[in-house]
Amino acid sequence: SQQGEEDPQALSIQEGENATMNCSYKTSINNLQWYRQNSGRGLVHLILIRSNEREKHSGRLRVTLDTSKKSSSLLITASRAADTASYFCATTGTASKLTFGTGTRLQVTL
Amino acid sequence: DAGVIQSPRHEVTEMGQEVTLRCKPISGHNSLFWYRQTMMRGLELLIYFNNNVPIDDSGMPEDRFSAKMPNASFSTLKIQPSEPRDSAVYFCASRTGQDNSGNTIYFGEGSWLTVV
């Protein structure tokens, strides 16, 4: 079953704009990760944020985590056409397995 | 590093036939995962192994599905008999560590299965 729900399901922006995707989850977590999937390809790990962290940066990526609201956001700044992909949040709880959300399809147009 | 290697990349088979998907995890990784992705259900964890031992197979849909990991460098996911509703992309992934530390999971490129 899905642990996370991404919002929005689809997002279309122009190159140079910022893209924000949100993820909500249901149970307590140890960490939350964001993955990217290009069409027809496997998933690629982007960034991990632990439950005791509130914000993390990696290049043009900024992730926030609010454990009280059971939510996370992924911000991609100065988007590029190459950022077009689906983005998934994934959570790890007390078990070792990683449970994925439903994903946000991002389209960046020139 | 060759990454997680899956085969076949694409398979079209007739209903009732046996399907075997194969995975070679990254060398040194001791956790292996099989996921299924469909438009309707998204990414579902089917089963995962730690040190070649199945830990959680609660996501395996039914008895037609079975997975094995005879050694640290090879795993199979078998569907017998296959049905059209099994059509999906099947991903294998691997990771170091067996706890919930959040070590990165590395995915293969997937096996695209179509059952007609």
Give A97's contacts in chain B (Cβ within 8 Å). 33, 45, 48, 56
Identify the pLDDT of residue A95: 65
Average pLDDT, chain B: 92
Identify the pLDDT of residue B98: 58
pLDDT at A99 over 90: no
pLDDT at B50 over 70: yes
Cα-based distances in Å from B95 to A50, B92, B105, B110? 17, 11, 5, 16
User: Are B82 and B13 in contact, with CB atoms under 8 Å apart?
Assistant: yes
- Point out the residue among B55, B93, B107 whose CB comes nearest to the CB of A96: B55
Average pLDDT, chain A: 91
Q: Is A41 on the interface with B (CB under 8 A)?
A: yes
Mean pLDDT of A23-36: 91
Is A100 within 8 Å of B100 when comparing Cβ atoms? no
Give A58's contacts in chain B (Cβ within 8 Å). none
Mean pLDDT of A23-43: 91
pLDDT at B111 over 90: yes
User: Are B93 and B45 in contact, with CB atoms under 8 Å apart?
Assistant: no
Quick: pLDDT tens for B12-27.
999 999 999 999 999 9
Q: Is A2 on the interface with B (CB under 8 A)?
A: yes
- Point out the residue among B33, B50, B102 whose CB comes nearest to the CB of A50: B102
User: Are B12 and B114 in contact, with CB atoms under 8 Å apart?
Assistant: yes
Mean pLDDT of A76-96: 90
CA A50, B32, B60 angle in degrees (round to 5)? 100
